[in-house]
């Protein structure tokens, strides 16, 4: 609050010095050479796709993610090609990616869903073999690592969101990280009307700028990120051991070599074994004061906006996941007592579903 107040008092509310500082601290934290702040995760994806794709190019996108990963491909005139996800990790599977390649495939858009890094090594191998660009959707993965490197370090471009549910928030906001200076320069031009110097416009651009007020929040949040992620990981460990061996309930599995940032803690239910539907389970938890969410109730190929873009194919894993996943609270504000209560309640509900 103090940081925001200082910006307000300065009278400089537009993008300025504080945005520069936020970008510098973000780039340092993830180990990337450049970080470019924008006004949402969606615009980050839009700018990344716009810089790397041409109309008609195909991009392989996991079928199980938030809509923007694919809708922004459409927004730049390219075509999202959905691939099914790994049934254990719910993430884009490099083997399945290879089955979807065509001569028009230009890029991969893997998602570090829930904060769990995708199989970065496997996906980069595919990208190198077929000369594909990679745009990583890290909207949920601030602070996640893969073999010791922050997910924001990997080429070509990594896109983040600062929506309030994320590990770092500015209310609304986003960031692109890259180590390619020409891409970074392109993003800076495009986010601000292609303006090279005052009122000299060299490219088609937009107003996708973040404000100093938002950046002040982000800069403070970056300081807290390591401890917030440690808390999330600790909470996830408590939930994972507390919810072990419940028939019909699976806790999250993590990609080999990955450090999950646990933006979301998502369990998978088997309604037949549990003896109740996900909706009933969710309702019972809500009655006992535990808020849960479904990320996501529809796989992308079933979304009305993507009708005809792969709806003729089968995506057994993402289709099943959409019916069976449920996210439990894992945020840093939970106390040990809250976590014990969640575990006790879930155990009680699963042991005696009719109560
Ligand atoms: C996986 C994923 N991609 C993209 C976005 C879009 O980010 P934003 O809401 O900041 O536009 C989100 C967040 O909402 C997300 O979870």
Q: Whose CA is nearest to atom 7 of ligand 1?
A: 41
pLDDT at residue 188 above 80?
Answer: yes
Q: Please report, for residues 23, 86, 142, 249, the alpha-carbon distance to residue 317 in angstroms, rounded to integers and kept in the order given.
A: 37, 7, 26, 17
**Above 90 in pLDDT, residue 12?**
no
For the Cβ of 111 lying below 6 angstroms from any atom of ligand 1, the answer is yes
CATH dotted code for 225-351: 3.90.1150.10
Please answer whether residues 130 and 156 qualify as being in contact, where contact means their C-beta atoms are separated by less than 8 angstroms: no
| CB of 210 closer than 8 Å to CB of 15 | yes
Residue 155's DSSP bridge partners are none
DSSP one-letter string for 51-86: HH--TT-EEEEESSS-THHHHHHHHTT-EEEEE-B-
Whose Cα sits closest to atom 12 in ligand 1?
A: 139
Residue 169 tokens read as 């928030």
Break the chain into its structural domains and give their ranges: 2-221, 225-351
> What is the DSSP-derived secondary structure letter of residue 178?
E
pLDDT digits (tens, 9 = 90+) for 49-84: 999 999 999 999 999 999 999 999 999 999 999 999
Q: In this structure, are strands 200-201 and 249-250 parallel, antiparallel, or unpaired?
A: unpaired
- Binding site membership of 41 for ligand 1 (Cβ less than 6 Å): yes
pLDDT at 283 over 60: yes
The set of residues, in sequence order, having a beta carbon less than 8 Å from that of 71 and lying 6+ positions away, is: 42, 305
DSSP reduced 3-state for 332: coil
| CB-CB contact of 255 with 118 (8 Å) | yes
Q: Which fold does the domain 2-221 belong to in CATH?
A: 3.40.640
39 lines ligand 1 (CB under 6 A): no
Q: How many other C-beta atoms are found inside a 10 Å radius of the C-beta of residue 308?
A: 8
Residues 6+ apart with CB under 8 A from 61: 69, 70, 73, 80, 81, 82, 83, 109, 111, 300
What proportion of the chain, given as a percentage, has pLDDT over 90? Answer: 94
- List, for residues 22-31, the tens digit of each pLDDT value: 999 999 999 9
* For the CA of 161, the nearest atom of ligand 1: 10
Task: Tell me if 66 CB under 6 Å of ligand 1.
Answer: yes
181-191 vs 41-52: helix crossing angle, rounded to 10: 120
Task: Answer yes or no: is the C-beta of 161 below 6 A from any ligand 1 atom.
Answer: yes
> For the segment 167-182, what is each residue's pLDDT rounded down to a tens digit?
999 999 999 999 999 9
Contact 276, 269 (CB under 8 A): no
Place of tokens 């199989």: 119
Which tens digits make up the pLDDT trace of 293-315? 999 999 999 999 998 777 678 89
């Amino acid at each position: 609050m103090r940081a925001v107040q200082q910006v307000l008092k300065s009278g400089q509310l537009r993008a300025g010095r504080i945005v520069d500082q936020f970008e510098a601290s973000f780039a340092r934290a993830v180990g990337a050479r450049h970080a470019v702040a924008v006004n949402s995760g969606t615009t980050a994806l839009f700018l990344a796709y716009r810089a790397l794709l041409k109309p008609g190019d195909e991009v392989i996108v996991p079928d199980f993610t938030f809509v923007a990963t694919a809708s922004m491909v459409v927004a730049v005139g390219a075509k999202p090609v959905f691939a099914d996800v790994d049934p254990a990790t719910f993430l884009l599977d490099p083997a399945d990616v290879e089955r979807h390649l065509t001569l028009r495939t230009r890029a991969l858009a893997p998602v570090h869903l829930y904060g769990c890094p995708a199989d970065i090594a496997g996906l980069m191998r595919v990208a190198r073999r077929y000369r594909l660009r990679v745009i990583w959707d890290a909207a949920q993965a601030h602070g996640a690592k893969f073999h010791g490197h922050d997910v924001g370090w990997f080429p070509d471009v990594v896109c983040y969101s600062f929506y309030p549910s994320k590990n770092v928030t500015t209310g609304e906001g986003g960031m692109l990280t890259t180590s390619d200076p020409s891409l970074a320069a392109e993003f800076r031009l495009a986010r601000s009307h292609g303006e090279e110097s005052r009122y000299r416009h060299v490219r088609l651009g937009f107003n996708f700028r973040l404000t100093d007020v938002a950046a002040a929040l982000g800069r403070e949040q970056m300081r807290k990120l390591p401890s917030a992620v440690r808390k999330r990981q600790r909470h996830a460990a408590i939930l994972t051991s507390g919810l072990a061996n419940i028939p019909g309930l699976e806790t999250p599995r993590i990609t080999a070599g990955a450090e999950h940032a646990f933006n979301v803690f998502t369990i998978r239910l088997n309604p037949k074994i549990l003896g109740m539907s996900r909706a009933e389970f969710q309702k019972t938890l809500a009655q006992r004061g535990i808020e849960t969410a479904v990320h996501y109730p529809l796989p992308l190929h079933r979304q009305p906006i993507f009708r005809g873009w792969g709806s003729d194919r089968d995506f057994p894993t993402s289709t099943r996941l959409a019916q069976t996943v449920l996210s439990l609270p894992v945020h840093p504000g939970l106390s040990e007592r809250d976590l014990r209560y969640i575990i006790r309640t879930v155990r009680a509900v699963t042991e005696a579903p009719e109560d």
